[in-house]
Amino acid sequence: MPNAPIPFLDLKAQQRRIATDLRRRLDTVLEHCQFILGPEVRELEAELARFCGATYCVGVSSGTDALQIAMMAEDIGPGDAVFLPAFTYTATAEVPLLLGATPVFVDVDPRTFQIDPAHLVQRIEAVRAAGRLKPRAIIGVDLFGQPADWPALLDIARRNDLFLLDDLAQSFGGSLHGKMLGSQADATATSFFPSKPLGAYGDGGALFTESEERAELYRSLRTHGEGKTRYEVLRTGMNGRLDSIQAAVLLAKLAVFPEELSARERIARIYDQRLGNAVTTPKRVPDSTSAWAIYAILLSDEAARDRVQAALKADGVPTAIYYPRPLHRQPAYSAQHDGSGLPVSEDLAGRILALPIHPDLTDEDVGRICDAVLAAVS
């Protein structure tokens, strides 16, 4: 008989662990019926800011909307260049285009998968020299749970007078140089999509900033550009509000989040130890902790990845490919790309494979996964 499949993500097991607090919080929302921006949203904003050490937190409807609100607040639009990694999820590039700006793709580090500061400098200089676009912003992505090189990115942003935005969608709960991610850039956007380390039961997101002015602007933009009253419209905004039920879910999950982060780290270390001599495991960013949203190994080439993925599937071990195609090679963005080669992103897309990593994997599950990978690559 084949082995029973291991869940790639087990939200049901997590729900069983938090059932009592979750039900209590959901019942409270059903009692007061303040379903949009209710008291749970304000409580969550305070708790999230405290957790990551940010001064201000503004809850919004999704991670994508968080990125859009942050860039709307800076008046980023037509004629502006926004620099971002080519190896990440589509939302990072989608938002500049929605605002009329142009995404400029930057290559990434081959082992940590984070944006390459040296290549970023080259791309900024090339855009300035071409003279067609005005460099306006950098979006650094904390990919797969690990942090980008924020000291380097901040230095580049300041030297070039650019707005620096942290896309923390995959890495809330990570840290760099002893400081939680959330206040390293001018603004930070995160996502609470259900598969994230801290995930809601639907869409949700948040913005963090140290600027009171930006926080006030974010609150206005998330609610149709409102002023002091509902029918005072100061600017063009959007419907980007966080609902109270999602906030209630996140508050229940936040109570167990530190122990879940510890469980993810323990599993990642087992993978490191057991698989490190057989496949290329993720390189740790120095002096950091990871939220381990994704644990991605590298195989020798695409054919090897296909063989390993098929063998694991047959053994009941699910996998995923993040990402099978870098952004500059996506049809939606090909017209925006200037044709520059991004060899690292292109290489990673053909060799990367994500293994299950979540707090409810048992020791037996982790052992099975490691055994299956080792057998598949032998």
Structure tokens at 50: 């405290």
Print pLDDT tens along the chain (378 aa).
Answer: 457 899 999 999 999 999 999 999 999 999 999 999 999 999 999 999 999 999 999 999 999 999 999 999 999 999 999 999 999 999 999 999 999 999 999 999 999 999 999 999 999 999 999 999 999 999 999 999 999 999 999 999 999 999 999 999 999 999 999 999 999 999 999 999 999 999 999 999 999 999 999 999 999 999 999 998 889 999 999 999 999 999 999 999 999 999 999 999 999 999 999 999 999 999 999 999 999 999 999 999 999 999 999 999 999 999 999 999 999 999 999 899 999 999 999 999 999 999 999 999 999 999 999 999 999 999
Could you tell me where in the chain the CATH 3.40.640.10 domains are found? 12-254
pLDDT of residue 1: 46
Nearest partner of 208 among 348, 55, 81, judged by Cα: 55
SS3 233: strand
What is the β-pairing status of strands 80-85 and 102-106? parallel
What is the β-pairing status of strands 187-191 and 163-167? parallel
SS3 249: helix
CA torsion 73→78→80→83, rounded to 10°? Answer: 80
pLDDT of residue 3: 77
3-state secondary structure 109-170: CCCCCCECHHHHHHHHHHHHHHCCCEEEEEEEECHHHCCCCHHHHHHHHHHCCCEEEEECCC
| HSE, side-chain direction, 13 A CA sphere, residue 49 | 19
Cα separation of 5 and 316, whole Å? 4
**Contact call for residues 115 and 140 (beta carbons, < 8 A):** yes
For 286, counting Cβ atoms within 10 Å of its Cβ (0-12 exposed, 13-18 middle, 19+ buried), the class is exposed
Could you tell me where in the chain the CATH 3.90.1150.10 domains are found? 257-377
pLDDT of residue 81: 98
**Contact call for residues 85 and 110 (beta carbons, < 8 A):** no
| Amino acid found at 217 | L
CATH number of 257-377: 3.90.1150.10
Cα separation of 333 and 43, whole Å? 39
Per the confidence metrics, is the pTM higher than 0.75?
yes
**Hey, which CATH number is domain 12-254, 3.40.640.10, 3.30.70.1290, 3.40.50.620, 3.30.420.40?**
3.40.640.10
pLDDT of residue 78: 98
Cα separation of 219 and 239, whole Å? 11
pLDDT of residue 2: 59
